[in-house]
Each structure stands twice: as C-alpha cells, then as structure tokens.
Amino acid sequence: MTEAPASAVLNDGNDHTKKSKKRRREDILKDAVGNGDFGGSKPSKEERREAKRLKKLGEEPGAGPETDEVLQLNGNVGEVEKAAANGDQSESKLSKEARKEARRLKKLAKEQENGHAVAEQLPSNNSVNGIDKASDKATLKAEKARLKAEKKSAKTENTDGGSQPNSTKGTFDSGSGYVEDRVLAALPQSEIDDFLSTNFITISDPTSSTNLRPITQFSHLPTHHTTSPSPFTAFKSPTPIQSAAWPFLLSGRDVIGVAETGSGKTLAFGVPCIRSITSSSRTRGSPARAVIVSPTRELAAQIHTQMETLASPAHLSTVCVYGGVPKDPQRLALKTAHIIVATPGRLNDLINEGSADLSNVNYVVLDEADRMLDKGFEEEIRKIIATTPTKGRQTLMFTATWPPSVRDLASTFMKTPVHISIGADNPTGELRANTKITQLVEVVDPRQKETRLLQLLKQHQGAGAKKNDRILVFCLYKKEAARIESFLSARGMKAAGIHGDMSQDKRTASLSAFKTGTCPLLVATDVAARGLDIPAVKAVINVTFPLTVEDYVHRIGRTGRAGADGLAITLFTEHDKAQSGALINVLRAAGQEIPEELLRFGTTVKKKGHEAYGAFYKGPGVGGKKEGTKIKFD
C-alpha cells in the first residue's frame, strides 16, 4: 500500500515579522486590490501573497496584445460574484473564496486593459491572433475548471474542518528573464495547489524570492519554439519533477531534484539547459556552455542521445566524452560543442591536456548526484567544477536517492538551491523506491542462489509469448557476473553480460543486444544500476544484494519506468543481513510485503561510519578510518 498523501509544501523563508517589510507588503496590497476590501478585517497571509503575485504580474513589462480576454475575465468576475452571493452555510466559504477570486480577476482584467503582457515567449510559428484565440479559449477553460475547483474546495473545507494545503502562488521572476505563460498565470490557485498535492510535490526554497507555479502543460514552456519539432510529442504532459523543476531552472536557480527512478529527470534538467544556452549572450572563447556529468559511460551515452534531440533543432552541438574509446573524435567535437555530456575521469583528462575548456560553462548538472558526490568521484567532481565560473553558474543535482551523507558536500557547490522532491509523505527526499514496482524478497541459502535463479528465469521468461521478455540480472562482483553469464549460457539461455572487466565495445554490444531484444537476458554489475532507460524490462533479479540500499533502489528502478508496472525479485542471504533493516524500510515505504524470514535478520538500520563512501563503503579500517578505494566505472 502507498503512504497517505502529503500536502504540497513550499517553505517560505521570509521573516514576516519585520515591520518595514510588513508595511511595504501592505502598500503593495493596497496597490493591487484598490482600497483593501477585505470585509473590514486584516488581509490574510494568503490574500497578501495573492496580491503580491498580482502586483508583480502588473509590473512585468511586455507587449501582450489586447484581446477578448478582458471581456472574458469580466464575465467571469460576474459569474464568481453570482456564486458568492448564495447564502447557505456551505456556500459562505465559497463566497469568501469567490470574492477573493473576483478581486484577482478584476485586477487581471484591468492590467490587460492597460496593455501589460502576461506572457513573454510565444511560439514563433503561430500568428499573434492565433495565439490569443488559443489562450483565450484556454483561459475560459481554466476559469470553468476554477469554478468547479472552488466548489470542490469549499466542500472539502466543510468536511475536513477547513484545512488547506500550503499554497504555491504563481508569480514572475522579473530578474531572470523567465515569465510565466499567460494561461498558467491565469490558472486558479486551487488548481495549482491540487496539482502539487496530488503529485506529492514538495518545494523548499530557502530564499522564497520566487514563488513559481509548476509548468503543468508543455505549452506553458517558454522554450518550445526553440525545439521544433517538439521532443514532447510522445508525451501527454510533463512529469511532476519536470513540472516543478522547470520554472526554477528557467529562472536561473540552482536546483536539487529528487524523484523516483524512471520519472523523467533527464528532460527535467535537459530542457532548461537549451534555454540557458540560447539566452546567453557570450560569444567569445570556448563554445561549451553546459556540462552534464554522469557516473557511467552507458548512461552518459544515453543522456547524450536525449540532449542531441533537444539541441539540434536549436542549432546547438553536443559531444559525449567517456573513457575506453579513442580520444581524438572527442577532442575534435569539443572544439564546437555547446553541451558536453561526460564521465568524470575522461573529462578531467581532456581538461588537463587543454582539449576541454569549461571557462564559459554556466550550466552544470550532476546526474545521479549522490553517486557523483561519494568518495569514488568527489575529487574528480571538485576538479571539474573548479574549472567552471563561480559567478553566473547554475548548478543542478538530480537523483532518485539523496542520502544525508552527501547533502553538506552538495551545498558547497551550490547557491541557495531550491530543493524539489517528489513522493508520497516524503518532504525531505528520504529513500524511496518507485511504487509501481512490485518488490519480492526471498531469503535463501547462499548455495541455492543459482538453482533458484534458473527457476525464476524459467517462470518469468519461459517458452511461448514470454520467451523474449527482458530480464536484468544483477550481481555484485565482476567475476560473479561473468560466472553467472556462463552458467546461464551453458544451460541454453541466451544471456549477455555487462561489467567493468569487459572492453567498451563488448559492453556497448551487450547493452544494445538487450535493448533491441536480440538477447533478452542481461547479467550485469552495478555498472548498469543507475539511469539506464531500457524499454520494457519486465523484471530485475538481484542474485546478490548490492552494497547499499540506495544501489538496490536504483537497480530495481530499471523496471517499472515512465509509469509502467515493474517486478523486482531479490535473493537475500545471511551474508546480507547487515542490510535487512534498511531493506525493510524501503519495502515498508513502498507498501510491499515483508517476509518473516527477512524480519528475523533484524530491523535495525546500521549507521554507517563513512556514508560518503556510498556504494563502495566496505567498513571501518584501522582506527575507525578507511581510505577511499577509488572504483570507477569508466
């Protein structure tokens, strides 16, 4: 079972007690709503926020065309006021809400009359009138939805004692160049709140300088004209992490984005990357404007492919830089590339020899950020970031797991980052597996693992229609992976392998055979645990438990992607018992069954002495200290 829904939260770090600020806000409020018709009482926090939002809306310079929207808005004011005029108890709440909304709409209508633009960027291939009609229609639709939502929210208030989700008010960040789309800006606040709470979106902004509405539709993106043909045609709407992260990223903010595996984080950081480059005015020096770092070669290649589809319509070029392949083509491509996707080791090599120059890079992404910040990579990351400018640089960290051990280190690279996390009852981004994955754990005798694996493969990939179903088998060690691959091949199963002892060519060939379905069984080490987006992996089988429960969450995340269901089966032995408590917590958080035999190993989560060593922590050494063993995948 999933956890109970949590309200969406936008932490407001403002000091609301300061007198001068308070006075200023009240002045703004007066400006925004006339002479403060709040029924004689002091405006609520909500009302003040809304007024502030409207005020900002009015201040935004622009040349928005005058449209029928004004009439429409006025019409809606009447409708709202009519609704507000009704008198029974359940409608008195509505009437307060409706009055508030009426004031908001009146103000908006007035601003439209005064010629203030609400939207900044419009698709270049549309005529202004076409856009106006479309947005008018959308506004009308939004208004209808708003009235419906008002009724619903009034109803809820009457049944739950008046509790409200915390609000995220839409607004503009005039300094950044990002302006909310007019349709998005016109959406009723209740709809935005609803979106945040139903998608379990938690936004924590230490500055509170921007209260940005989530981009709930691709059409609300200011960049879509730069990426035509649209990269979104296959998708209905942005995923929650995309919706929530885009406005902040488009505003130039640093962001930590924590969202479950397979939830579209690549586009979450990829789309604003294009916008960041196209809006930059720098023309001198190195062409590189963005760098995206990932822990494995295969993941770097995958991100690169996705970035290419975004970049080429905007006439930007990209390069993928990783080890195990010749440097020359990479050196050449670096001369013109605007976006560098890289694994850290090879990128540092190329920086050191002078082939890569990051001095103009102002968009830095650490994908699988917790992995990039653990001891295996920390030093490499420091070196890379040190060659980028401090001023004007946007730093992004995206991951599905965000252990406390890396959080302090992350903050040393970032400027007041906005923290966005997606997940039920998970405002601090604690460890969560994707809830679309069914997790089965079998406690077995270590000597029976291979026999049990064979049985499971026959059961889930047997003959007939199931024989081509993709199954990913994880081992802990390279030698173990090689042995299991041979074991399966010797029993007539078509298996490929991927691990660090193989040449890059062979790794690439195995992955490609698995992706295309030529070989439906892949035996891997944790080199394939993170980020890989392989279509329709039916099941993940863990033959040996990984070294950390974070790695477990990433491994099983290769199935159940982009909203699909998945299956993960884990063979757990007494050798893994130190991890039982942490695994139980992950199972519990995702509402999964916890086997009695697993509970017998204990529920205590052992506090690790060196959490920063992440997946490669092997226990304390002499004197409680252990040297970091640098194990790299590239």
Helical pair 45-59 and 89-113, crossing angle rounded to 10 deg: 20
Q: How far is the CB of 576 from ligand ATP (least distance, A)?
A: 23
Query: Taking the CB of residue 296, how many other CB atoms lie within 10 A of it?
Result: 25
- With CB under 6 A as the contact rule, the residue among 239, 360, 426, 580 that binds ligand ATP is 239
Does position 557 interact with ligand ATP (CB under 6 A)? The reply is yes
Does position 560 interact with ligand ATP (CB under 6 A)? The reply is no
Letters for 307-326 (x = contact with ligand ATP by CB under 6 A, - = none) are --------------------
Q: For the chain, how long is the longest CA-to-CA vector?
A: 84
Cβ proximity to ligand ATP, 291 vs 529, nearer residue: 529
Strand segments (E) across 411-494:
418-422, 437-443, 470-474
Q: How far is the CB of 257 from ligand ATP (least distance, A)?
A: 9
Does position 238 interact with ligand ATP (CB under 6 A)? The reply is yes
Q: How far is the CB of 389 from ligand ATP (least distance, A)?
A: 27
CB 557 within 8 A of CB 433: yes
Does position 223 interact with ligand ATP (CB under 6 A)? The reply is no
Cβ proximity to ligand ATP, 165 vs 238, nearer residue: 238
Q: How far is the CB of 335 from ligand ATP (least distance, A)?
A: 29
CB 90 within 8 A of CB 155: yes
Tell me the C-alpha distance between 557 and 396, whole Å: 21
Query: What are the backbone angles phi and psi of residue 18, rounded to the nearest 5°?
Result: -70, 130
Letters for 365-404 (x = contact with ligand ATP by CB under 6 A, - = none) are -----------------------------------x----
- With CB under 6 A as the contact rule, the residue among 107, 338, 515, 561 that binds ligand ATP is 561
Q: How far is the CB of 400 from ligand ATP (least distance, A)?
A: 4
Q: Which stretch binds ligand ATP (CB under 6 A): 144-152, 320-328, 557-565, 623-631?
A: 557-565
- With CB under 6 A as the contact rule, the residue among 191, 533, 550, 576 that binds ligand ATP is 533
Tell me the C-alpha distance between 628 and 619, whole Å: 11
What DSSP letter does each residue of 577-615 carry, written as one string? GGGHHHHHHHHHHTT----HHHHHT----PPPTTGGGGG
Letters for 248-267 (x = contact with ligand ATP by CB under 6 A, - = none) are -----------x-xxxxxxx
Letters for 397-436 (x = contact with ligand ATP by CB under 6 A, - = none) are ---x------------------------------------
Of 167, 203, 199, 589, the C-alpha closest to 428 is 203
Does position 531 interact with ligand ATP (CB under 6 A)? The reply is yes
Query: Taking the CB of residue 268, how many other CB atoms lie within 10 A of it?
Result: 27
Of 60, 170, 77, the C-alpha closest to 121 is 60
Chain positions 562 to 581 lying near ligand ATP, rule: CB under 6 A, are 562
CB 559 within 8 A of CB 533: no
DSSP letter at 206 equals S
- Could you list the residues that contact ligand ATP (CB under 6 A)? 235, 238-239, 242, 259, 261-267, 400, 531, 533, 557, 561-562
